[in-house]
Amino acid sequence: MGLLVLVTGGAGFVGSHTLVELLEAGHRVVVVDNCCNSARGQEAGQLPPALARVCTITGKTITAFHMVSLLDRDALAQVFAQHKIDVVIHFAALKAVGESVEKPLAYYSNNVTGTLTLLEVMNEAGVKRLVYSSSATVYGVPQYLPTDEQHPTGVGITNPYGHTKHICEQILRDLAATDKEWRVVLLRYFNPVGAHESGMIGEDPKGTPNNLLPYIAQVAVGKLDELLVYGGDYNTPDGTGVRDYIHVMDLASGHVAALDKLNSEDFQGAVAYNLGTGAGVSVLEMITAFTRASQKKIPYRVVGRREGDVATMVGSCVLAQQQLGWRASRDLHQMCVDAWCWQSQNPDGYA
């Protein structure tokens, strides 16, 4: 019968792909999403398009969808009153680094107050198992590479978004330390990219993409003219920024593995795991890989560095392999093939 999993932010990029893996693993899902950052259903009562397509991909149904903000405590309490939730996976958050610099209060309200409200409602409902969508951003400027889970966190974070992730991790650690019934897994994502192989769901950023791969994909499909490469003078093999890109379906399977760990006899407290590949890819290497996958030219121009960027961010994922029995399996070519399949089939996203 599987677990009944409440997924906040389930209509979003990582959330929708994780729903596919959860349903295919035999779990049932209740989705809470305010659709501030994802397409909503055309008619009242209609599922957001990403969720409808998750049902088509899996041939399963979503137990319930509630278009609710985590800041609406009463509505959230109602959701827990309606469903006997076993565990929560918490994706819902604003996640644009640049936007967080312009709107810090919106980020603290949505990401921190929203998480606090969720935890209070969970506590009252007696639901004390949580997988939290964290980010490698909590490592700040890497002091060593690849960064493992022992790397200091909270030092050198350059933006409010990263601070909100670090603060929420601290809240969860303190909660699990004071109430032994709480079980928490903190998943630190590196750079999620790609799409489900069907091309039916994928990354659908609002407006001009902040992140590299959706930007490249929109250049390839003709929506944008050229890619600006932020910095060609970093201390990296080709001078451009290096990141640990991970296929979103690998990331999704990491969440299912985290659920199994959370419910195992020996689990206790709050434990962090990196979800990445351990391999670094530069901007120019990504352009080459996407060109090969899409057979499209990607015009680009190297310009100045972007404020707040680090030269290299690559994760060690040995702990997830050892303790979750999980590792990423899809390579860079597959990431680009699947991202292109989604973009070319859906030039305007879910619109």
Determine which residue in the list 215, 273, 340, 350 makes contact with ligand WQD, applying CB under 6 A: 215
Binding of residue 228 to ligand WQD (CB under 6 A): yes
Determine which residue in the list 283, 298, 314, 328 makes contact with ligand WQD, applying CB under 6 A: 283
Burial of 69 (0-12, 13-18, 19+ CB in 10 A): middle
Using alpha carbons only, what angle is made at residue 257 by residues 254 and 260, rounded to the nearest 5 degrees?
155
Binding of residue 243 to ligand WQD (CB under 6 A): yes
| Alpha-helix residue ranges (DSSP H) falling in the chain | 13-24, 49-58, 73-82, 97-102, 104-107, 114-125, 160-178, 212-220, 248-262, 283-294, 318-324, 332-345
Q: How far is the CB of 89 from ligand WQD (least distance, A)?
A: 15
Query: Which is catalytic among the residues 107, 139, 161, 215?
Result: 161
Pick left, alpha or beta for residue 239 (phi over 0 → left; psi -120 to 50 → alpha; otherwise beta). Answer: left
User: Is the CB of 142 or the CB of 199 nearer to ligand WQD?
Assistant: 142
User: Is the CB of 61 or the CB of 208 nearer to ligand WQD?
Assistant: 208
User: Is the CB of 37 or the CB of 253 nearer to ligand WQD?
Assistant: 37
Of 72-80, 145-153, 176-184, 210-218, the segment contacting ligand WQD by CB under 6 A is 210-218
Q: How far is the CB of 347 from ligand WQD (least distance, A)?
A: 18
Q: At what angle do helices 13-24 and 248-262 cross, to 10 degrees?
A: 60
Q: Which amino acid is at 319?
A: L
Cβ distance 176 to 183 under 8 Å? yes
User: Is the CB of 160 or the CB of 349 nearer to ligand WQD?
Assistant: 160
Determine which residue in the list 83, 173, 223, 306 makes contact with ligand WQD, applying CB under 6 A: 306
Active site residue 245: no
Binding of residue 212 to ligand WQD (CB under 6 A): yes
Q: How far is the CB of 303 from ligand WQD (least distance, A)?
A: 8
Of 64-72, 73-81, 228-236, 341-349, the segment contacting ligand WQD by CB under 6 A is 228-236
Q: 158 in helix, strand or coil?
A: coil
Half-sphere exposure (Cβ direction) of 194: Cα atoms closer than 13 Å = 26
Binding of residue 241 to ligand WQD (CB under 6 A): yes
Residue ranges in 92-111 that form contacts with ligand WQD under rule CB under 6 A: 95, 97
User: Is the CB of 78 or the CB of 158 nearer to ligand WQD?
Assistant: 158
Residue ranges in 134-163 that form contacts with ligand WQD under rule CB under 6 A: 135, 137
Q: How far apart are CA 118 and CA 72, in angstroms?
A: 9
How big is the site for ligand WQD, counted in residues (CB under 6 A)? 19
Chain centre distance of CA 208: 19
Binding of residue 251 to ligand WQD (CB under 6 A): no
Q: How far apart are CA 138 and CA 123, in angstroms?
A: 25
Burial of 297 (0-12, 13-18, 19+ CB in 10 A): exposed
Residue ranges in 35-94 that form contacts with ligand WQD under rule CB under 6 A: none
Pick left, alpha or beta for residue 168 (phi over 0 → left; psi -120 to 50 → alpha; otherwise beta). Answer: alpha
Q: Map tokens 């690849």 to a residue.
A: 146
The footprint of ligand WQD (CB under 6 A) covers 95, 97, 135, 137, 189, 191, 210-212, 215, 227-230, 241, 243, 283, 306, 309
| Residues involved in catalysis | 161
